[in-house]
């Protein structure tokens, strides 16, 4: 008699961070996107925002300025993750695009977290062999310096409007975040209050589901 195979448990998602750099020009919103190289095991040949896995060293990095209090509070779970997630977003952006959010001192990036906002969270489907629990942050391009350049991680880096971005090869999570950044930037001039909640994009029984969470 053949023994049935044990059902494989889902891979535990790794903490990750991604950064949406945007610029509002007249009636258009531009965002920075790049294409992941075809050699990547995770999401090859699709356009994404800069970002990557949160490293242990990110929690120890001393910033030029900390996160705004309301952003740190929303990123407060798991305990102590807020600073590490924000630092990872800035660090990965520098490594993948050459852009600087903060300063370069003695050849090392010193991040400035004071202009970051937290806009969304997404968890890779349980069936995926590589999974991430990604926090998406955003920043206005006027707080960014440096020279844009391709890397081994991201190629064909370019500024595109939200409409142009939606015509590029994307995954559903990226499409969702593009919609979220458009909504937030468009309404930011009309209100100074913090948004009611952070949208969580995840998969239940193979289908994407979105719900709002009061805090992370």
DSSP notation for 65-127: B---HHHHHHT--STTHHHHHHHHHHHHHHHHH--BSEEEETTEEEEB-TT-EEEEEEE--TT
* Parts of the chain with a pLDDT under 70: 1-8, 40, 77-79, 188-196, 214-216
pLDDT at 178: 97
Which is nearest to 180 in space by CA: 92, 123, 121, 93?
Answer: 121
d(CA 36, CA 101): 22
Domain containing residue 23: 18-213
For residue 170, tell me if it sits in a domain.
yes
| Residue 163 per-residue DSSP state | H
pLDDT at 14: 92
Overall number of domains in the chain: 1
d(CA 102, CA 214): 29
- Start-to-end CA distance of the chain, whole Å, equals 48
**Please, which residues bridge with residue 53 across strands?**
16
- Return the number of other C-beta atoms located less than 10 Å from residue 210's C-beta: 12
State which H helix or E strand residue 43 sits in: none
pLDDT at 130: 85
For residue 138, tell me if it sits in a domain.
yes
For residue 13, tell me if it sits in a domain.
no
d(CA 149, CA 138): 20
pLDDT at 128: 84
pLDDT at 77: 67
For residue 117, tell me if it sits in a domain.
yes
d(CA 210, CA 199): 6
For residue 194, tell me if it sits in a domain.
yes
d(CA 59, CA 195): 26
CATH number at residue 114: 3.90.79.10
d(CA 2, CA 45): 41
For residue 193, tell me if it sits in a domain.
yes
pLDDT at 189: 53
Sign of the dihedral defined by the CA atoms of residues 92, 96, 100, 105, in that order: positive
* Token pair 């590490």: residue: 84
CA 2 to chain centre: 46
* Token pair 């190289």: residue: 37
For residue 206, tell me if it sits in a domain.
yes
For residue 3, tell me if it sits in a domain.
no
């Amino acid at each position: 008699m053949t023994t049935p195979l044990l059902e494989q448990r889902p891979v535990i998602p790794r903490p990750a961070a991604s950064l949406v750099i945007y610029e509002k020009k007249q009636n258009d919103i531009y965002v920075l996107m790049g294409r992941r190289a075809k050699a990547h095991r995770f999401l090859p040949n699709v356009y994404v925002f800069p970002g990557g896995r949160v490293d242990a060293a990110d929690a120890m990095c001393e910033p030029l300025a900390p996160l705004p209090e309301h952003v740190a509070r929303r990123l407060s779970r798991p305990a102590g993750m807020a600073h590490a997630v924000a630092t990872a977003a800035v660090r990965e952006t520098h490594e993948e695009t050459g852009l600087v959010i903060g300063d370069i001192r003695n050849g090392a990036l010193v991040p400035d977290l004071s202009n970051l906002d937290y806009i969304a969270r997404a968890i890779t489907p349980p069936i995926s062999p590589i999974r991430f629990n990604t926090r998406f942050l955003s920043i206005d391009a006027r707080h960014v310096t440096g020279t844009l350049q391709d890397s081994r991680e991201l190629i064909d880096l370019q500024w595109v409007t939200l409409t142009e971005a939606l015509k590029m090869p994307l995954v559903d999570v990226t499409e969702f975040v593009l919609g979220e950044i458009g909504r937030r930037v468009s309404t930011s001039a009309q209100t100074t209050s913090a948004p009611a909640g952070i949208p969580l994009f995840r998969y239940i029984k193979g289908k994407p589901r979105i719900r709002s969470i009061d805090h992370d």
